[in-house]
Amino acid sequence: MYSYEDMCADADRLASKGANRFVVGYSLFGRELVGLFKGSTDGPQLLVQGAMHAREWATAELCVRLFESYDGAAGLWCVPMANPDGAMLAQYGIDSAPTKSDAEYLLSLNGGDDFSLWKANGRGVDLNVNFPALWGTGASNVFAPAPSDYVGEHPLSEPCSRTLALFTLKVQPSATVSIHARGGVIYGGFGCYDPEKELAERVAEECGYPLLRAEGSAGGYKDWFVATTARLGLTVEVGDGDTPYPQLQGELDDILARTRNVLPTLSAHYVAQ
Ligand SMILES: [Zn+2]
């Protein structure tokens, strides 16, 4: 398993090789949201982010590897594990909860002690429906704490989503890439917005994944970024959709081969403008 500690160790290793490692903010349970940066802060910037859904923790390793292999001219900001509390819960179960009352609450939400399919954060909010983009109107939204799909009490109610949104506004990336792990497809656009469609199509073609609209999606990070900035936001869903989440880690070489040009392609486009 690629744990939170593995991600932190990778971040330290990359920092020793010249990357900038920093703390974006803190999770609900006080874990560092680790950020990485390489390149120049002058000119276009890109932001890649992973593991917002707990059970998709393998995408944190993919983010680190995409960051490591990137050699584009645009500055690259990376938040490999946007939901460390949820990822720890999916990997290590209830022992990862910081207090007994957290543990009892999470067990009651989950209805058992198998957290391997948990998507939410440390208090049953699904971070990828917690952003202010037609918040609470998504087709799968639920309105009480749960292992997945709960929108939260209000938009950006959670430390991790709030931190990521504020950080994104500070960085002002030309484009964002969110790595998820369900289905071998890329989602772009939101509502009436469809910025940089040709570029999105080129990226999708290079990956061999179809570019689709996520019908019924609302409150996602990508949704929010597109609606707020009218810039390109992509959700890259890696894997074939059938692979159990822990086994996804064994497919990372293949997935990396498919996706390693996403960030360089975006960089080349924005640097040439
Ligand atoms: Zn996901």
Gap from CA of 120 to ligand 1 centroid (Å)? 10
Alpha-carbon distance values, 166 to 31, 159, 213, 235 (Å): 18, 11, 25, 19
pLDDT at 245: 80
Gap from CA of 252 to ligand 1 centroid (Å)? 16
Question: How far apart are alpha carbons 18 and 149 in whole angstroms?
Answer: 38
213: Cα separation from own chain's centroid = 18
Residue with tokens 């007994």: 100
**Closest among 211, 214, 194, 210 to 139, alpha carbons compared:** 214
Gap from CA of 172 to ligand 1 centroid (Å)? 23
Under DSSP, the state recorded for 238 is -
pLDDT at 135: 98
Residues forming beta bridges with residue 77, ordered by sequence position: 37, 47
Gap from CA of 9 to ligand 1 centroid (Å)? 24
Strand pairing report for 20-26 and 185-188:
unpaired
Token reading at 126: 């699904």
pLDDT at 256: 96
Gap from CA of 236 to ligand 1 centroid (Å)? 9
Please provide residue 82's backbone torsions phi and psi, each rounded to the nearest 5 degrees.
-80, -10
Domains and CATH numbers, the chain: 4-272 (3.40.630.10)
Alpha-carbon distance values, 134 to 17, 85, 151 (Å): 41, 26, 11
pLDDT at 27: 98
Question: How far apart are alpha carbons 57 and 245 in whole angstroms?
Answer: 8
Per-residue pLDDT of the chain (273 residues; tens, 9 = 90+): 999 999 999 999 999 999 999 999 999 999 999 999 999 999 999 999 999 999 999 999 999 999 999 999 999 999 999 999 999 999 999 999 999 999 999 999 999 999 999 999 999 999 999 999 999 999 999 999 999 999 999 999 999 999 999 999 999 999 999 999 988 999 999 999 999 999 999 999 999 999 999 889 999 999 999 999 999 999 999 987 777 787 888 899 999 999 999 999 999 999 998
The edge-to-edge listing of strands for the beta sheet with 175-180 is 20-26, 32-38, 75-79, 45-50, 175-180, 232-237, 185-188, 211-212
Question: pTM value?
Answer: 0.97
Question: How far apart are alpha carbons 93 and 28 in whole angstroms?
Answer: 17
**Closest among 222, 224, 202, 204 to 212, alpha carbons compared:** 204
pLDDT at 183: 85
Question: How far apart are alpha carbons 271 and 273 in whole angstroms?
Answer: 6
pLDDT at 242: 73
Token reading at 44: 């276009």
pLDDT at 250: 86
Gap from CA of 196 to ligand 1 centroid (Å)? 23
Gap from CA of 42 to ligand 1 centroid (Å)? 31
Token reading at 177: 């890439």
Alpha-carbon distance values, 168 to 51, 142, 171, 228, 233 (Å): 16, 26, 5, 11, 12
Gap from CA of 216 to ligand 1 centroid (Å)? 15
Question: How far apart are alpha carbons 205 and 208 in whole angstroms?
Answer: 5
pLDDT at 197: 96
Gap from CA of 91 to ligand 1 centroid (Å)? 16
Strand pairing report for 211-212 and 75-79:
unpaired
Which 3-state string (H, E, C) describes 9-23? HHHHHHHHCCCEEEE
Gap from CA of 272 to ligand 1 centroid (Å)? 32
Gap from CA of 43 to ligand 1 centroid (Å)? 30
- 183: exposed, middle or buried (C-beta count within 10 Å: 0-12, 13-18, 19+)? middle
